[in-house]
A and B are shown apart, each in its own frame.
Chain A
Amino acid sequence: MSSSLTSLLIANRGEIAVRLIRACRELKIRAVAVYSEADARALHVREADEAVLLGPPAPKESYLRVDKILEAARQTGAQAIHPGYGFLSENADFAEAVHAAGLVFVGPSPAAIRQMGSKTGARALMEKAGVPIVPGLQENGQHKTEYDWLKAAQDIGYPVLVKAAGGGGGRGMRVVRDSAEFLEALASAQREAANAFGDATIFLEKYIARGRHIEFQVLGDQHGNVVHLFERECSLQRRHQKVIEETPSPLLVQHPFLREQMGRAAVAAARAVHYHNAGTIEFIVDPDTLQFYFLEMNTRLQVEHPITEMLTGLDLVHWQLRVAQGEALPFTQDQLTARGHAIECRVCAEDPAQSFYPSVGRLLRADEPRGPGLRVDSGFVGGDEISPHYDSLLAKVIAHATTRAEAIQKLDAALARYTVLGLTTNIAFLRDLLAHPEFVGGNATTQFIGQHFAQWQPPAPPPAAFIAAALTEQLAAPPANTPPAVAGASSPWDRKDGFRLGAGR
């Protein structure tokens, strides 16, 4: 790649910051990291060429501080800023400020972010562009009374979704199943929206109860070319947070004509906002009627982008950087091909057996699986501290194979080899999801996890687990009649080097 870009500031943390830094390495671009006090020793800081402290741990005082990030760019001479996902990635004011500072924003235009960022505005825009939208009600500039909302919910038919206009990624969104809970849900959604997004605007949508979440990756340049890079199915969700993503979609494999239609709609949606850079059009599909509806557009790189990369062989981050510098896409839609099947799962520091409570603390050990067709994007290594201030994503494990069945097998085997100690993770839960017949059959809807895994419990330890713990303590303990080892400062348990039995010390 011929690149005039020689330095990039990465306004993010965790696995995505690490992934972006590695892309910089490949392209011989100097990578500048930013970090909060909680992340002073984080992997992304260690891997970057330079790192600038933003402030205290709370995102509002660090990763969301536009002024400090721009100052960091100025200080380090960074020419461009990549926002990653989350944080400031869909903040139009930030993108504008980056431009105003004379820097390249690796993403779409501020106008496109703004248009798609207003969920209500986007709905109106999509309707105009001929992209199907979910039946619903929004304010459209006039105030709606409780009566109006209640009446609309009745007309749309329960269950309905109350969504924050400024929300996304499952935040500021709730399902209401009948009129008795409606007004309370409305009020709390408005409160949450005002708190989380600084905008109390909400809207109503019909809730497609047994839907399939299928999204299309789009890529546009600044010369008006837009293509889609096929779909990703993300129906496995828990509280609207994606858990497992795959491509191609098992549903669209059965209905290729639907892929055609949805792909065209995705490109039309992107064109409607003159989109450039990488973005994602999310649809919900009713598997009974095969109707699809626009949900929202994510005007940034997605968490699950690696499966598209595995499937198409394209590096999305490289392309983001190229089109951000004005390069034109050298390929057309019909020149793009997909190969095999790719599947990703999100390994999180949370306890699926206890309401998915976050698990915070020191990661004692993290042995990542390796092998052909495997990719692990992680933001942490053994010894790292996992802070309560940010989200619980530790790593993404991605498998690519010729068929879906092989990809699932490969992913499961990879998870089995992924040893994470010190924090409770969802690995066992993920493996059970992958093994469920409904998922294996390619029929899981967005209800799947709630339906089958609400009462999930991890398997009880076999006798071998107790034996392993005891033997390890016994073998690692100092020889002869010392009292049972209790971990303490002087215990050989604390040794990080490879203590060997009988190694003479």
Chain B
Amino acid sequence: MEFQYVFNDETQTVKVERVGAQWAVTVMGETHLLTPTLGPTGEVTFTLNGVRWVAQATPDGERRWVALNGQTFVLTVPAKGKKQRRGKTGGHETLAAQMPGVVRRVLVADGDAVEKGQTLLALEAMKMEIKINAPHAGAVEKVLVSEGQTVERGQVLINLLAKA
């Protein structure tokens, strides 16, 4: 079976194949013969190139949380057939919340011309304020949220129209 995971925009394919009592696992161009065990709390243990790894991997939607030997990583399963809708399409651009929180301040209105770097909106979560700045000059097409509103991670806050 093949599994794909993305970390830092890089996709890794892991091929797993049963060979008798062992598993042949291919990743980053190398094949390893492993004898993994799955423990009572879901931890998987295996020895790779002489190093013993005890890993706890937990799914969370499309994310895979992997804790192993004192470190934790979040891998993502690439979405199938679904294009990421964020970003630019023909001068239109959407600005989304990088974190869930509450909209503290809205500093622009529909139709406003904005400069590159101008603060458009401030979000707050866990006592931390983050500013949403214009990535480049343009105009505010639509502000989709209002002050005091709670937003999710990835929720679109503002539609921008890039300067031609």
Chain A contacts to B: CB under 8 angstroms: 171, 349-350, 354-362, 364-365, 367, 388-392, 415-417, 419-422, 424-425, 427-428, 431, 458-461, 463-477, 484, 486-487, 491, 493-494, 498-501
Contact = CB atoms under 8 A, between A and B. Distances in A.
B23 A471 contact: yes
Interface stretch (B33-41, B107-115, B154-162): B33-41
A411 to B, nearest CB: 13
Contacts of B67: 419-421
A84 B1 CA distance: 53
A409 to B, nearest CB: 13
Would you list the 9 A-B pairs with minimal beta carbon distance, nearest first? A416-B70, A468-B55, A470-B14, A421-B65, A358-B126, A388-B125, A472-B57, A498-B40, A487-B59
A367 B69 CA distance: 13
A418 B98 CA distance: 26
A467 B46 contact: yes
Contacts of A464: 46, 48, 51, 53, 55, 68-69
Contacts of A392: 126-128
Contacts of B37: 501
A358 B125 contact: yes
A388 B28 contact: no
B64 A484 contact: no
Interface in B16-37: 16, 23, 25, 27-28, 30, 32, 34, 36-37
Nearest to A354: B98
Contacts of A171: 127
B48 A466 contact: no
Contacts, number: 183
| Most chain B C-beta atoms within 10 Å of own C-beta, residue among A389, A421, A470 | A470
Contact of B101 (A388, A420, A491): A388
A421 B27 contact: no
Interface of A is mostly: mixed
Identify the interface centre among A464, A474, A487: most chain B CB within 10 Å of its CB. A464
Contacts of A356: 128
Given A471-B34, A475-B38, A501-B37, A461 B25 contact: no
A464 B25 CA distance: 10
A498 B44 CA distance: 12
Nearest to A358: B126
A360 B100 contact: yes
A461 B102 contact: no
A469 B98 contact: no
A466 B59 contact: no
Given A422-B65, A471-B46, A466 B12 contact: yes
Given A417-B70, A476-B42, A467 B56 contact: no
Given A360-B100, A364-B60, A471-B25, 13 more contacts: A357-B125, A357-B128, A362-B60, A364-B58, A416-B70, A422-B65, A464-B51, A464-B69, A465-B68, A471-B44, A473-B59, A474-B23, A477-B1
